[in-house]
Amino acid sequence: RAVPERVVTNDDLSKLMDTTDEWIRQRTGIQQRHWAVEGDSATGFSLLATQRALAKAGMEASEIDAIVYATSTSDHFAPGNGVYLQKALGIGTVPALDIRTQCSGFVYGLSIADAYIKSGMYQTVLVVGSELQSTGMDVTDRGRNTSVIFADGAGVAIVQACDEAAGSEILAWDLHSEGEHAGLLWVDTPGSIYHPRNQAEHIAEGKGFLDMDGKEVFRHATTRMPESINAVLEKGGKRAEELALLIPHQANLRISEMVQKRLGLRDDQVYNNIQRYGNTTSATIPIALDEALEQGLLKRGDLLAITAFGSGFLWGSALIRY
């Protein structure tokens, strides 16, 4: 994982907009988040996270066969960040696939890596979730419902083929989308539907900022995430009580608490760190996974579930024998 050095507290935000530390904590559970400074980039965070992952794995960058890069905040409109990370790693002409599945990005990215490996197409795939959301936040009263939530950072996983004796395996998948709700959590512009795609009036109207219907997102997320976790448990022939750990997308602590309640899980079965990081979109799950591993909360052979829900609406889960 890698996050900006700059820490922004709720009290810091209260100086920019009509909000308070109590208001933010009660509604989101967030106490602080990391925001980028001039010169930072999503690619830069993903490079640092990848270097740390390679060091932990005792691997060289040259062993990576392919990159699957999930982000909704590319450094540039085109091309995507995958090729910039490939260049920074200096690993030659390996394929770099960018996906825009927002908060569900890491789950979807991992599913692609799993398919690549199981088909025999590639042996070692780097899965990236990296975001730089802070530069797209409206830090005024108009945007306080979203700007207090979203943050910056990157998390990566190196996924590699192994034999059955190793014991590690992705047991089941559950992936969905429901496009009729796309406008409930979106960024309208710039978009190629507009002629031209960059218009001064769009900027003035705030159409380039993230817009979210928080109540509807909460309602759908607290329904779809438990459904999806139950689906992968059923597909994998497992029960919720067998889970060593569930790492949900860190959208809102209240959503995670509701998901936990509906699944009947204990506190020690669910890992949350949104209090310190905010919602880093596609990066939340790998950042949390890296922390959980450092804290010894997960060991080889344990049953792990990950689940995410977000813009699209897109959602999904994976059941993993770690």
Chain centroid, CA 269 distance in Å: 20
| Angstrom distances, CA of residue 16 to CA of 36, 92, 177, 201 | 17, 45, 36, 24
* Gap between the Cα atoms of 258 and 124, Å rounded: 36
Exactly one of 81, 249, 252, 272 is catalytic; which is it?
249
Chain centroid, CA 205 distance in Å: 28
Is 187:208 a contact under the CB 8 Å cutoff? yes
Exactly one of 10, 81, 272, 279 is catalytic; which is it?
279
The strand order across the sheet containing 124-132 reads: 96-99, 66-70, 124-132, 152-160
Q: Is 279 a catalytic residue?
A: yes
* Gap between the Cα atoms of 299 and 318, Å rounded: 17
Exactly one of 10, 34, 81, 103 is catalytic; which is it?
103
The H or E element containing residue 128 is strand 124-132
Tokens (6 digits) for 183: 């406008």
Is 125:67 a contact under the CB 8 Å cutoff? yes
Is 191:221 a contact under the CB 8 Å cutoff? no
Q: Which of 49, 57, 88, 82 is nearest to 68 (CA)?
A: 82
* Gap between the Cα atoms of 108 and 70, Å rounded: 8
**Any idea which residues carry the catalytic annotation?**
103, 249, 279
